[in-house]
Amino acid sequence: MVAGDGIGPEVVKEGLKCLAAAIEGRDIAFDATEFDLGAARWHATGETLTDTDLAAIREHDVILLGAIGDPTVPSGVLERGVLLPLRFALDQYVNLRPSRLYPGEVSPLANPGDIDFVVVREGTEGPYVGNGGALRVGTPHEIATEVSVNTAFGVERVVRYAFDVATKRDRRHVTLVHKHNVLVHAGHLWRRTVEAVAQEFPNVTWDYLHVDAATIKMVTDPASFDVIVTDNLFGDILTDEAAAVSGGIGLAASGNVNPDRTAPSMFEPVHGSAPDIAGQGKADPSATVLSIGMLLDFLGYGDLAAKVEEAVAADAAAKGSAVRSTSEVGDALAARIRG
């Protein structure tokens, strides 16, 4: 477990409370190791994720992560030094981000409809790999590049995962989001890959949207999406928008999944460390609790995962407009999970 920065420790505490409630009375051995990663460690030692940390983390089945990032650390140091190395080194190539508008949750949209889709965001490639550089920095002639890396291997495995997810859903529909009219190299690799993989899934339909059009549809007709598959950066942007339309970032859960199980998968709320409200008991732990649900599902405890999600849904329906502290929400969810 990596509690991390800002509100990370607060929401992780509630997540673990709910995990304990979910596995109570079940014959599930549970043991957590706390990894000190993030701003405090960097300030104290200058270290980010070390090889020793990584080796120790690999000994675990799954990782729960709170949030990484702090304004006292230069932008990019912790993201490029902790979070992304975890995703990359542990080959978490599927960044799974479901969006559901639970009854009782308020969408900023007048007519949101019945939102229930999942974004399958690629997690180990794209513009996130750090392939680029800068020349003549600070001069009027500065040149900066961030070259998006898309491999046939990497695209195919995440596309296949998305189609597989679609087979287990009612609508069985995949939407590829990219920008192949401009990003012709990567875009056409994605398009061709989807065309080829779709042949293997005759029961799944698919369509294509340019990312700019997808951002419009996300606010005009989000309920029409079922499974979206897209690259790392488009997926990052689109899932924040998805969270916003489906009840807010306080409810957005995610899994950084290594489907081949060659290394641990990692579950984390989509929100960041929110330093402005850290330490005040104001953060909503629901996204972390939903991430616990995804974690349980990944480990094969589908019944417990369902209980966790039902608890969050029931809480959304019942909570009204009362302001509750982080631990009050955690207590309420744990009580519902216990049933």
Annotated ligand binding at 112? The verdict is no
Q: 212 catalytic, yes or no? A: yes
- Measured from the CB atom, the residue of 272 and 330 that comes closer to Mn ion is 272
Considering the rule CB under 5 A, would residue 10 count as an interface residue with Mn ion? no
53 binding Mn ion? (CB under 5 A): no
Judged by CB under 6 A, the chain residues 201 through 260 that form the site for ligand IPM are 236
Does position 69 interact with ligand IPM (CB under 6 A)? The reply is yes
Catalytic choice (208, 240, 319, 331):
240
The answer to the question of residue 270 lying near ligand IPM (CB under 6 A) is: yes
79 binds ligand IPM (CB under 6 A): yes
Q: Is position 91 annotated as part of the catalytic site?
A: no
Does 275 appear as a known binding residue?
yes
| Residue 243 marked in a binding site | no
Q: Do residues 53 and 326 touch, judged by C-beta distance below 8 A? A: no
Smallest gap from residue 211 Cβ to Mn ion (A): 15
Tell me if 160 is assigned to a ligand binding site: no
Tell me the backbone φ, ψ of residue 124, rounded to 5 degrees: -130, 5
**Closest-CA residue to 275 (of 67, 25, 47):** 67
What residues have CB less than 8 Å from 121, skipping those under 6 apart? 94, 95, 96, 97, 230, 231, 232, 234, 235, 236, 238, 239
| Distance separating alpha carbons of residues 197 and 163, to the nearest angstrom | 8
236 contacts Mn ion (rule: CB under 5 A): yes
Cα–Cα dist 140/126, whole Å? 28
Q: Are 240 and 270 in contact (CB under 8 A)?
A: yes
**102 has catalytic annotation:** no
For residue 90, give both structure tokens.
């542990």
20 assigned ligand-binding residue:
no
Residue 70 in the binding site for ligand IPM (CB under 6 A): no
Considering the candidates 226, 236, 297, 315, report the single residue annotated as catalytic: 236
Burial code (b: 16+ CB inside 10 Å, e: under 16) for 140-169 equals eeeeeeeebbbeeebbbbbbbbbbbbbeee
Residue nearest to ligand IPM (CB): 79
Q: Annotated catalytic, 221? A: no
Judged by the rule CB under 6 A, the positions of this chain that interact with ligand IPM are: 69, 79, 83, 236, 270
Binding residues for Mn ion (CB under 5 A): 236
Active site residues: 128, 179, 212, 236, 240
The binding site for NAD(+) comprises 272-284
